[in-house]
Amino acid sequence: MAAPPSSRLQNMLQTAVQSVQWTYSLFWQLCPQQGILVWGDGYYNGAIKTRKTVQPMEVSTEEASLQRSQQLRELYESLSAGETNQPARRPCAALSPEDLTESEWFYLMCVSFSFPPGVGLPGRAYAKRQHVWLTSANEVDSKVFTRAILAKSARIQTVVCIPLLDGVVEFGMTEKVQEDLRFIQHVKSFFVDHHHPHPPKPALSEHSTSNPAASSEHTRFQSPPLAAMYPPVDLTAANANQIDEEEEE
């Protein structure tokens, strides 16, 4: 069965995060070779400091945001490869570090992280098969949230990880948002059905590396119509998976 293109996955992440107006969405994909969660794809939906483009005409906000996500990934790959010393080889629309907001830096650096099942927010969500909701992500200790220092600089206050069959989808927000099971249900509705994805490249580190290598189970990503923001659900278990001060490991 043919694998869905990466652009389709990013489109699902884009549609989902724009429907709730959070800062970013990521997909942590299980690497079968090492059995750890690595960056699969993402979509940045937050503030932008400097916009660079080679397109001669105006583009929509959605097109501009999609281009920005691609530029951020290209910048990370460029920095990892040491190409910042060779600016002539980079296109004129390529981003430089000084072009980024702090929240863009947070998003960019997430590419370098990986998580064994049970470790970190994504690892916990994947191992327990339950969502993990962290508020005050910019205030907790790094033992609670591995990326806490980055989150503090970026003012990322809320991080939510939701397990899927072959990975974990993560949403982050610069505002403090209390746990809401309607949000979880809404996000899950974008990631339904099943399909074999491309196996991810092996990661070089269990947590973070400045030079990362860019499942038998599977997930297809399908977007529903955006009729209502959140469908109603029973909130009696709303606090079951919220994390404030307990450690991730």
pLDDT digits (tens, 9 = 90+) for 174-221: 999 999 999 999 999 998 753 344 444 444 333 444 333 333 333 333
Rounded mean pLDDT, 28-39: 94
- Domain covering 6-215 in this structure, CATH number: 3.30.450.40
Q: What are the helix (H) ranges across 46-193?
A: 61-80, 102-110, 120-128, 148-154, 181-188
Q: What is the DSSP letter of 208?
A: B
Question: Does 99 or 87 have the greater pLDDT score?
Answer: 99
pLDDT at 162 over 60: yes
Is the pLDDT at 46 greater than 80? The verdict is yes
Cα Rg, the chain, nearest whole Å: 17
Residue partners of 83: CB distance under 8 A and separation at least 6 = 89, 90
**Which of left, alpha, beta for 10 (phi over 0: left; psi -120 to 50: alpha)?**
alpha
Tallying the residues shown for the chain, one arrives at 249
Domain boundaries of the chain, sorted by first residue: 6-215
Considering 68-77, 124-133, 212-221, the range whose residues carry the highest mean pLDDT is 124-133
Work out the percent of the chain whose per-residue pLDDT is above 70: 54
The pLDDT score that the predictor gives to residue 172 is 98
Average pLDDT over the chain reads: 72
Is the whole model's pTM more than 0.85, yes or no?
no
Phi, psi (degrees; rounded to nearest 5) at 173: -145, 145
CA distance 55 to 200: 31
pLDDT band for position 246 (cuts 50, 70, 90)? very low
